[in-house]
Amino acid sequence: LPLNYVAYSACFRREAGSYGKESKGFLRVHQFNKVEMVKIVKPETSYDELEKITNDAEDILKELKIPYRILMLCSGDLSFAAAKCYDIETWSPAENKWLEASSCSNFEDFQARRANIKFKRKDAKKPEIAHTLNGSGLATSRLMVSILENYQTPEGKIIVPKVLQKYTGFAIIE
């Protein structure tokens, strides 16, 4: 341990039928895609691994030079399973507010107990329950909104972030 995994997945929202300003466009779509990061770790390293998985998501925003902030959720906002969680939010000039782009959580042994995920130390007789962590690498539709809004010029052109220009082959979308 640690075991580190990533997966690209399609996700679906339950509240797809809701109506209002936040349900239009890319902000609150019924189906969206994201890259999920998963770690299975030893209990004594799980909080260090939470910092690492959060930094992995943060590094993408640093490379793209998109304004962001990281919030540690209070216990009242945590999911039932999470022991500690960070939300990463990107700035939306059009909405004039922060939008959640990623969430990174330490579930300690909550998921591992239910899935019977164990590991055995080198000299131990009995296996121990592992700790699990999850982090969304970034929701792709929200990331697209952040790039479009934060890189738009007054003339309506979009400057392609430098780190992406080698993949697009161009610097401006007109």
Residue 79 designated active-site: no
Contact at 8 Å (CB) between 105 and 84? yes
Residue 28 designated active-site: yes
Q: Which of 13, 69, 114, 121 is catalytic?
A: 13
Q: Which of 105, 141, 142, 149 is catalytic?
A: 142
Residue 13 designated active-site: yes
Question: Tokens standing for 162?
Answer: 């430098």
Residue 14 designated active-site: no
Strands (E), 13-159: 31-41, 68-72, 84-92, 97-106, 118-119, 128-129, 131-139, 158-159
Q: Which of 103, 105, 136, 141 is catalytic?
A: 103
Q: Which of 9, 69, 100, 114 is catalytic?
A: 100
Contact at 8 Å (CB) between 133 and 106? yes
Cβ atoms within 10 A of the Cβ of 46, count?
Answer: 22
Residue 142 designated active-site: yes
Active site amino acids: 13, 28, 100, 103, 142
